[in-house]
Amino acid sequence: MIEFKDVTYTVSGREILSQLNLKVPLGKTIVIIGPSGCGKSTLLRLAMGLIKPTAGQILLNGQPLTDPLTGKNKFSRGMVFQSSALFDFLSVYDNIAFGLQRRKNLTPEEIKHRVSRELERVGLGADPSLLTKRPAELSGGMQKRVALARTLAMEPKIILYDEPTNGLDPIMAGVITELILQVQRSLGVTSLLVTHDLKTALRVGDEIGLLFQGKIRELGPPLAIMESKDPLLRQFVEGVPTDPLRTNGEWCL
């Protein structure tokens, strides 16, 4: 469904991604783990079409990516951003309805129905007073759920998750992880998720890969990844703060 072919991304003379190859098959969830600053968000921004590769190609269903705002497959991908990226000045309702209101074919009633359907799905349907609240009035976990509801409301075929459990306590991280799993199972979406939360990775990933020095290392099923003898993976799995993931005093690059 999504394919990165020899994708290189250079910024300010630094190669963040380097001839990276990755395939995300239809209906599967691929999780990319990796240390901070190694290019995980960059990978997702490229898949979303928000930035363009310096070299190489990203294919969506075998076709080159089109611009997310103007291209014809603009609604087929949805992204859940690392920071939730909700609009501070809009209510929960308007945040979720934002993309829908820009679609010509939906009536206000249909939009209302979709907003409540998605709030229900993410476990926030019980309290109607939430609809008029602003993001600043919500906890981090609620913000993540509203961000997920906003993405789901657009009914994307592909969901890109950037650190969906970042900054949450272990229980809320578990709630979000289960939600992602539920979305995956009930809607059959194709997902690419990046995280440094191993627990989430192991729970939701059909396959897990490590991003390091611009390339995906050791892509495989969760069990194989946990048992891998690769020193980079061992270090990441065991959380050892020395070489080889840390080279010359620098993480990643």
Binding site for Mg ion (CB under 5 A): 40-41, 82
Least Å from the CB of residue 36 to Mg ion: 7
Residue 12: which of ligand ATP, Mg ion, none does it interact with, CB under 5 to 8 A by kind? ligand ATP
Among ligand ATP, Mg ion, none, residue 37 binds (CB under 5-8 Å by kind): ligand ATP
Query: With CB under 6 A as the contact rule, which of the stretches 36-44, 56-64, 87-95, 215-223 interacts with ligand ATP?
Result: 36-44
CA dist., res. 98 & res. 203, Å (int): 31
- Residue from 1, 39, 118, 121 that binds ligand ATP (CB under 6 A)? 39
Q: Are 252 and 243 in contact (CB under 8 A)?
A: no
140, containing H or E segment: helix 140-153
- Phi-psi region for residue 19, left (φ > 0), alpha (ψ -120 to 50) or beta? left
Amino acid type, 215: K
Q: Are 203 and 242 in contact (CB under 8 A)?
A: no
Backbone angles phi, psi at 159, to 5 degrees: -120, 130
Q: Using DSSP, how many helices (H) and how many strands (E) does the chain show?
A: 8, 12
Task: Determine the interface stretch with ligand ATP among 9-17, 21-29, 113-121, 215-223 (rule: CB under 6 A).
Answer: 9-17
| Angle, helices 140-153/170-187, rounded to nearest 10 degrees | 10
Dist. CA 23–CA 37, nearest whole Å? 22
2, 33, 38, 100: which one binds ligand ATP (CB under 6 A) = 38
Pick from 2, 4, 29, 42: which binds ligand ATP (CB under 6 A)?
42
Residue 51 beta carbon to ligand ATP: minimum distance, rounded to whole angstroms? 8
Candidate list 37, 108, 188, 221; residue touching ligand ATP; CB under 6 A:
37
Candidates 8, 10, 41, 116; binder of ligand ATP (CB under 6 A) is: 41
Given the complex with ligand ATP, which of 34 and 53 has the nearer CB atom? 34
Instruction: Point out which span in 10-18, 70-78, 111-119, 133-141 binds ligand ATP (CB under 6 A).
Output: 10-18
State how far the Cα of 88 lies from the Cα of 134, in Å rounded to an integer: 6
